[in-house]
Chains A and B, each alone.
Chain A
Amino acid sequence: MREREPEKRARGVLKALQQVAKETVLGIGGLREALFVPFLAILTALIISGLFIVISEPVVVSAYANFFQSPGYALSVTLTTLSSAYGALFRGSIGDPKEIYRALVTFSQVGDAAPLRYALYPISESLTTSVPYIFAGLAVALGFRCGLFNIGAEGQILIGGLASVWVGYNITGFPWFIHLPLALVVGALAGALWSAIAGYLKAKTGAHEVINTIMMNYLAFRLSDLLLTDPRLMGRPTGTPMTPQILPTAYLPRLLGSPLRFHAGFFMALGVAALVYWFLWKTTLGFEIRTVGANPDAARYAGMSVAKNFVLAMGLSGALAGLAGANEVLGVTHFVGGGFSPGYGFDSIALALLGKSHPLGVVLAALLFGTLRAGAAKMQILGIPIDIIQILQAMIIMFIAAPALVRLIYRLKVEREVTEVVFTRGWGG
């Protein structure tokens, strides 16, 4: 009997959620189909991640140990924990609205930009973090379009970053308009060559790219350890495992002035997203890549070279991931050290799926992920490890990949079966 009550309440909450979801999202009409499931997926993922936060909080755990003495206390502790965690997430990613307002007022009255910069810092961080996400997300999405599952973006980011940092500090005496593009191009090229290996192995031997790209991630990590620790290679003479600083001629300009790290790479990322869209849907090369992804046998029968497209798509995917690394080096860090990429490559898998492997979707998902990661950095101060992001992602991928699961949870009726892209073709290619 006891359990009935909470169950009923839970169903009530669910109903309310359903109602809210319907009224807010369904109202938009045409966008409904495209946004509804992702919205619910993110919502559910946040709830489940919240569960992790709550059960790992000692105060909450001890409160529940005395649940029957003071149930109200347990619930209130739960809510405080959650609200402070997600509150930190919000302040870390968007900022404090009141503070932003006050800073705006100060700026308009006194003309002092310093408080404004301080208030906008969270947003700037979110946008800055979304830059590598856009590139890496596009990388994975482009692979998906060719039926390839590139799990190696993380390693490709590292390789791209290493290549462009090398150009950044080693090549001197050029003006910025040569040095910066050169560093970007070399970063992209390095990523492309690195990942094209997996594409080549898939095309020539049928070895599955998932295993090979994962193995190449490990290779990239070890390679970077080797390069960074040895002063004769790329390490610093002091022995600290990091590369020298790049020259200012290779910097991607920061657009909002000093403490804000928002840089020109953001607009470059948007431009590249548009370019990827144009490439995939408006050129014959893109048509081939998509055809190979949709039905490799039909592509072969139509005279396309499946092998060539595997290598090309994998190479382009790596180039995009390499650009992610190059942008981080040239726009944010200005050197490569341990923990250079905190998992942008892995996160981008979830991101690409969330964005339905479409450049526009990827950009939107990347903005979301940039926001989440910037906010999660703030949550760390509360003792909530940043790994929460990974849990969140796993949930998002799961709900996006299994829309039926979301419908089941929220008791939605099937609107229309959307044909899902199938990537798995066994081990033989």
Chain B
Amino acid sequence: MPPVLELRGITKAFPGVLANDHIDFTLEKGEIHALLGENGAGKTTLMNILYGLYTPDEGEILIRGKKVEIHSPGDAIAQGIGMVHQHFMLIPVFTVTENVMLGVESTNYRVFLNRRQAAERVSQISEQYGLRVDPEAYVQDLPVGVRQRVEIIKILYREADILVLDEPTAVLTPQEVKELFAVMRSLVDEGKSIIFITHKLKEVMEIADRITVLRDGRVVGTTKPQETSLSELASMMVGREVILTVDKKPPRLGEVVLEVKDLRVRDDRGDLAVKGVSFDVRAGEILGVAGVQGNGQTELVEALTGLRPVESGEVHILGGDTTHASPRQILEKGVAHVPEDRQGNGLVLSYPLLDNLVLNTYYLPPFADSIIIQERAIIAAAKERVERFDIRTPSIFVTTASLSGGNQQKTIVAREFSRPIRLLIAAQPTRGLDVGSIEYIHERLIEKRDEDTAILLVSPELDEILTLADRIAVMYEGEIVAILPAEEATREELGLLMAGAKRLPETLTTQPREKEAVTEG
């Protein structure tokens, strides 16, 4: 019997990059085939080709042994291919049923929507595969984990038998990952076939039947979990030995730099997103904020940096009240911010690199003399920073948009680390970066910590938090449900905390214990 899906020699070039270079890939019926590779290896490009979002430059696609042309998602759906995208393709203001039926609506007289009929099928699918969801709920009110179930129901509603899951675990707690794997198993048992895209080695070893590793747009090899090991997969993926841990000395705790008391913040829709959060961060330590995305971390960071108004509560930085201070006042207190959305908020992509390197210090000497910009000083500083932070660029005058993601992030780091800072607020500083850049950013963070900077690190990646943080605060639905020392934290416990299944008593959570607080000097 021919494989359900076969990709032959798929090649796709974007300006400057060969995203896919003659990729061969097969998917057998009833298997979970993992596609492993780090960010930028070409996994998503390959799947977008399969789904008709991109047209390949070369290569062919065979489904059940027959050659097919896929020019649009419509063609892919017709071939029984369904895809859960990394960024959910759901419409927040629609209900679950409306989202699921969109494109294959149940209708009366072919014109009017028949919502009831569709809702019944949604309920039926959700029961059959254990994907609990309320068909009448609006997607914007659902937590991320449930949204993913909606995405899977969407595929099953279209009766797809080739399922592509693109980084489905990135937004889930460890417990939710277990649930997802159970669902995947039951789907395979029903005769469906799954392509599971990820960059997480442990998950691959746990769930995959076969593993294909991609690097720099090429297939490095295909193997099975039984025949390989974590370290072998890691070096296949990155192309060299990977140091999975960061060297870190115990923290030398200094004064309290950031103090937050009973902070309450509203989101854009006017709902409370941060509900009475209290914590502090001392000089020389990294406080990691763990939690599934969308549990108030974004709003917390924006409130601390003055970008979002505080509903109630207090924020003190270096003893001064900054609860209602402007972003500039907070910047000038020595607070650096590496924002979550580096392209949208951290950089002006249309500007030349040098302007972005002084984006928040352009008005200070030596870059300005009263209101007159001192170009020479800016050029000199930019050259020095490009050198010191190893930003790979042909010149400081090229537009920032032309740099790679890693170099863009280095630009932000260079800007923020080049001024005297006492507190660093870093939100998902390594999202979407390749391993080299991740290592670089991690080293810089530890370096800053050892220079007695207080660091608040927000990241949904548990591994990142466990590697870097000295203490870990877990956020769930706008509250900090626990703050615990890193060495006492386990993945299991953090997972339960992130899922809101558990919370630690208040007394344990506020201050680092005295024995840890090694005083300076």
Let me know if chains A and B touch directly in the complex, using CB atoms closer than 8 Å: yes
Q: Which residues of A line the B interface, CB within 8 A? A: 282-285, 287, 291, 294-295, 297-305, 419
Give the interface centre of B330, B350, B401 by most chain A CB atoms within 10 Å.
Answer: B350
With A and B bound together, what is the CA distance between A304 and B348 in angstroms? 13
Select from chain A the residue with minimum beta-carbon distance to B356.
A298
Q: How far apart sit A12 and B363, CA to CA, in the bound complex (Å)?
A: 57
Q: Which residues of A contact B372 (CB under 8 A)?
A: 282-284
A284 and B347 contact, CB distance less than 8 A: no
CB distance from B362 to the nearest CB of A (A): 6
A303 to chain B, nearest CB (A): 3
Bound Cα distance from A283 to B399, whole angstroms = 20
Taking a contact as CB atoms under 8 Å apart, the answer to whether A303 and B371 are in contact is no
18 inter-chain pairs at a CB distance below 8 angstroms, sorted by A residue, are A282-B372, A282-B373, A283-B371, A284-B362, A287-B373, A294-B350, A294-B351, A295-B347, A295-B348, A297-B341, A301-B360, A302-B331, A302-B360, A303-B326, A303-B330, A303-B360, A304-B328, A305-B328
List residues of chain B with CB within 8 A of the CB of A287: 355, 362, 373
Q: Assess the B348–A294 pair: CB atoms within 8 A.
A: yes
B368:A303 contact, CB within 8 angstroms: no
Minimum distance in angstroms from B273 CB to a CB of chain A: 18
Residue of B nearest to A292 (CB): B348
Contacts of A301 in B (CB 8 A): 305, 307, 327, 337, 339, 345-346, 360
Contact A283 B350, beta carbon cutoff 8 Å:
no
A303 to B362, CA, bound (A): 11
List, in ascending order, chain B residues with CB within 8 A of A299's CB.
348
* Residue in B345, B363, B399 whose CB lies within 8 Å of A284: B363
Q: Which residues of the other chain, A, contact B344 by a CB distance below 8 angstroms?
A: 295, 297-298
Residues in A neighbouring B375, C-beta threshold 8 A: 282
- Residue contact A303 to B350, C-beta cutoff 8 Å: no
What is the chain B residue whose CB lies nearest that of A284? Answer: B363
Q: Which residue of B lies closest to A304 (CB)?
A: B328
Q: How far is the CA of A283 from the CA of B341 in the complex (A)?
A: 28
When each residue 345-385 of chain B gets 1 if its CB lies under 8 Å from chain A and 0 otherwise, what string results? Answer: 11111110001000110110000100111010000000000
Among A303, A305, A419, max chain B CB count under 10 A is at: A303
The answer to whether B327 and A300 touch across the interface, beta carbons within 8 angstroms, is yes
Q: Which residues of the other chain, A, contact B399 by a CB distance below 8 angstroms?
A: 419
Chain A residues contacting B305 (CB-CB under 8 Å) are 301
- Tell me which residues across on chain A come within 8 A of B307, comparing CB atoms: 300-301
Q: Nearest-CB distance from A147 to chain B (Å)?
A: 12
Cα–Cα, bound, A90→B290 (Å): 72
Question: Would you list the 5 A-B pairs with minimal beta carbon distance, nearest first?
Answer: A303-B328, A302-B360, A302-B359, A284-B363, A295-B348
Closest to A279 in B: B371
Interface size on B, residues (CB 8 A): 31
> Which residues of chain B have a CB within 8 Å of any CB of chain A?
305, 307, 326-328, 330-332, 337, 339, 341, 344-351, 355, 359-360, 362-363, 368, 371-373, 375, 399, 401
Question: Inside 8 A of B330's CB, which chain A residues have their CB?
Answer: 303
Please state if B371 and A284 are interface contacts (CB–CB under 8 Å): yes
Structural contact, B348 and A285, CB atoms closer than 8 A: no
Closest Cβ of chain A: how far from B400's Cβ, in Å? Answer: 10
Cα A284 to Cα B371 in complex, Å, equals 5
Query: Do A419 and B328 have beta carbons less than 8 Å apart?
Result: no
Extra A-B contacts (6), CB below 8 Å, given A283-B373, A301-B305, A303-B360: A284-B371, A287-B373, A297-B341, A298-B344, A303-B326, A305-B326
Q: Is the CB of B327 within 8 A of A284?
A: no
Cα(A302)–Cα(B401), bound, Å: 18
Task: Please measure, in the bound complex, the distance between the C-alpha atom of A283 and the C-alpha atom of B371, giving whole angstroms.
Answer: 5
Chain B residue contacts of A285, Cβ below 8 A:
371
Q: B307 to nearest A CB, angstroms?
A: 6
Min Cβ gap A396→B in Å is 24
Closest to A428 in B: B268
Whole-angstrom distance between the Cβ of B29 and the nearest chain A Cβ: 44
A398 and B341 CA atoms in complex are apart in Å by 34
Given contacts A284-B368, A298-B348, contact A291 B373 (CB under 8 A): no
Among A287, A297, A298, A299, the one with the most B-chain Cβ atoms within 10 Å of its Cβ is A298
A291: chain B residues within 8 A (beta carbon):
348, 351, 359
A285 to B362, CA, bound (A): 10
A300-B307, A304-B328 known; A284 vs B373 contact (CB < 8 Å): yes
A295 to B345, CA, bound (A): 8
Shortest B499–chain A CB gap in Å is 31
Q: Which residues of B contact A305 (CB under 8 A)?
A: 326, 328
CA distance A314 to B332 in the complex (A): 28
Q: Give CA–CA (A282, B371) in the complex, Å.
A: 8
* A420 and chain B: residue at smallest CB distance: B350
**Closest Cβ of chain A: how far from B421's Cβ, in Å?**
14
The answer, among A282, A283, A303, for a CB contact under 8 Å with B331, is A303
Chain B residues, CB < 8 A from A294: 348, 350-351
B371:A298 contact, CB within 8 angstroms: no
Closest-CB distance, B369 to chain A (whole angstroms): 10
**When chains A and B are docked, how far (Å) is the Cα of A202 from the Cα of B401?**
28
- Are A298's CB and B345's CB within 8 A? yes
- What CA separation (Å) do A302 and B371 show in the bound complex? 17
Q: Please give, as numbers and ranges, the residues of chain A lying within 8 Å of B371 by CB-CB distance.
A: 283-285
Distance between A414 CB and nearest chain B CB, rounded to angstroms: 12
* Interchain CB contact under 8 A, A298 and B362: no
Cα distance, A284 to B369, chains bound together (Å): 9
> B373 contacts which chain A residues (CB < 8 A)?
282-284, 287
Q: Once bound together, how far apart are the Cα atoms of A284 and B399, in whole Å?
A: 20
A294–B356 alpha-carbon span in the complex (Å): 12
Q: Bound state CA distance, A174 and B344, in angstroms? A: 55
CB neighbours (8 Å) of A297 from chain B are 341, 344-345
Complex CA distance for A304 and B326, rounded to whole angstroms? 9
CB–CB B327/A303 < 8 A: yes
Q: Once the chains are docked, how many angstroms separate the CA of A304 from the CA of B330?
A: 12
Given the complex, which residues of A lie within 8 Å of B363, measured CB to CB? 284
Residues of B near A284 (CB, < 8 A) are 362-363, 368, 371-373
Docked-complex contact A298 and B326, CB < 8 angstroms: no
On chain A, the residues within 8 Å of B337 by CB distance are 301
Query: Considering the chains assembled together, what is the distance between the CA atoms of A294 and B350 in angstroms?
Result: 7
Q: Which of A283, A300, A302, A305 has the most CB of B within 10 A?
A: A302
CA distance A419 to B372 in the complex (A): 28
**CA gap between A303 and B339 in the complex, in Å:** 13
In contact, A298 and B346 (Cβ under 8 angstroms): yes
B334 to chain A, nearest CB (A): 13
Most B Cβ at <10 Å: residue of A300, A301, A304, A305: A301
| Bound complex: CA A282 to CA B326 (Å) | 25
Q: How far is the CA of A89 from the CA of B228 in the complex (A)?
A: 82
Contacts of B341 in A (CB 8 A): 297
Closest Cβ of chain B to A386, distance in Å, is 38
B415's nearest neighbour on chain A, judged by CB, is A302
Cβ contacts under 8 Å, B401 to chain A:
419
Q: Distance in Å from the Cβ of B493 to the closest Cβ of chain A?
A: 34
CB distance from A289 to the nearest CB of B (A): 12
Chain A residues with Cβ under 8 A from B332's Cβ? 303
Chain A residues within an 8 Å CB radius of B331: 302-303
Q: Residues of A contacting B327 with CB < 8 Å?
A: 300-303
A284 to B363, CA, bound (A): 6
Q: How far is the CA of A300 from the CA of B345 in the complex (A)?
A: 8
- Chain B positions within 8 Å of A295 at CB level: 344, 347-350
In the bound complex, residues from chain A placing their C-beta under 8 Å from that of B345 are 297-298, 300-301
- Across the interface, which residues of B come within 8 angstroms of A300, CB to CB? 307, 327, 345
Give the complex CA separation of A287 and B341 in angstroms: 22
Measured between beta carbons, the chain A residues less than 8 angstroms from B348 are 291, 294-295, 298-299
Q: Which residues of A contact B346 (CB under 8 A)?
A: 298, 301
Minimal Cβ-Cβ distance residue in B for A419: B350
Query: A419: which B residues are within 8 A, CB to CB?
Result: 350, 399, 401
Min CB–CB distance B340 → chain A (angstroms): 10
Please name all residues of chain A whose beta carbon is closer than 8 Å to the beta carbon of B347 when the two chains form the complex: 295, 298
